[in-house]
Amino acid sequence: MQAYDDRGDGPWPGSGDSDVPPLNETDRGEILADLADLAVYQALLAGRGVRGIVVDCADCGEQHFHEWNLLRASLQQLLDEGRMRPHEPAYDPDPAYYVTWEYCRGYADATLAD
């Protein structure tokens, strides 16, 4: 199966099955842990108005805003296929509604410690 970009220009770069080495058990474990953490973070923060997570991208130097469901789908795709395909950036996200992964971790630790 080959993935095509949203513009219909052709396959995503490197979308052939042979291009992606399988994940090792350590990587799979880390992704599964991230998925479990994400479920906790969403349960704790979505009701407080947080829409998702912001990530500082080392490749482009910009912030990427991921809604909870999009990030979950991306992590699941990484687990299933060994990579995350590019997606359209969030349209005009309000940074006030997104927090970092580190903030989520600290909030969860403080909340669940009580």
Q: Where are the alpha helices (DSSP H) in the chain?
A: 25-45, 68-81, 101-113
CA 54, 57, 58, 59: dihedral to nearest 10 degrees?
170
pLDDT along the chain (114 residues), means of 10: 43 54 91 98 98 92 92 93 77 92 97 87
pLDDT the model gives residue 18 = 54
pTM exceeding 0.95: no
Residues contacting residue 105 through CB under 8 Å, at least 6 positions apart: 37, 41
Domain layout of the chain by residue ranges? 20-113
- What distance in Å separates the CA atoms of residue 63 and residue 55, rounded to the nearest whole number? 6
pLDDT the model gives residue 84 = 79
pLDDT the model gives residue 103 = 98
- What distance in Å separates the CA atoms of residue 97 and residue 79, rounded to the nearest whole number? 27
pLDDT the model gives residue 90 = 73
